[in-house]
Amino acid sequence: VVRVLDCGKLVAPAACAGLPFMVLELLRGEDLYSVAAREGGLSPERVVRYALEACAGLSAAHAQGIIHPDLKPENLFVSLDADGGECLKVLDFGIARSRSRRAVTRGRAGLGSPGYMSPEQVQGSQKVDVRSDVWGLGVVMYELLAHRPAFPGDDPHALCAQTLTAAVVPLAELRPELPRALIEVVERCLERDPARRFASVEALSEALESLQLTPAGAASAAAAAAAEELPVEVDT
């Protein structure tokens, strides 16, 4: 998760006095949507690695009772370090909601990006929980693997309707060469009934690690590192 270095309230200029500010770490790289578009798609191994790192970041947020209701490739940033190494950063908790805040309005529960929101978000359910983020990661993984969105189109209302009722084109039809076990993981993330999805991002991470498409222990190390990068970035 992107690091928060400082926060407070402005004292100058006078017109801005009292306004809150945050100082975030400067990231160098590009978002996952741009990476996939530029490279014409990503390998299954790379998709799994990015998904594991996203799980690590979300696990740190969920541990604080914070759900990220707007997961999409544009909000996952491939940060480059000085040595050229990559680290996926989860960005834009601007509409994050707390699992413990019971006063969230019905309308706010439905905020997010059409085509990426979970069915329960689209319906404005008050029962949105961490499994909504599991759905969001599933939609992202599907898009990166299929080289097309799970729910294509530009009309927000049509996208929301698709999320609730439309059949997703099976990954096995679009990419028959993909490992069957990986396809099953993505399909489970995209179960419309939250009870049929992975119960947590930790459970999803374990399933992805079991595919053995990334170096052993990489996700566990990422999770440990993410847990130390709190507090998470929340737009004010």
Q: Which residues pair with 162 in a beta bridge?
A: none
Stretch (H or E) spanning 89? strand 86-90
Q: How many CB atoms lie within 10 A of CB 196?
A: 12
C-beta of residue 85 within 8 angstroms of C-beta of residue 107: no
DSSP 8-state symbol, 92 = -
Q: How far apart are CA 170 and CA 199, in angstroms?
A: 22
* Cα dist from 77 to 1, 29, 53, 57, 236, whole Å: 10, 7, 11, 12, 20
Active site residue 92: no
Indicate which residue of 6, 31, 70, 155 is catalytic.
70
Q: Is the four-CA dihedral 11, 94, 233, 81 of positive or negative sign?
A: negative
Q: Pseudo-torsion of CA 207, 212, 215, 221, nearest 10°? A: 20
Q: Which residues pair with 159 in a beta bridge?
A: none
Q: How far apart are CA 152 and CA 162, in angstroms?
A: 9
Residues noted as catalytic: 70
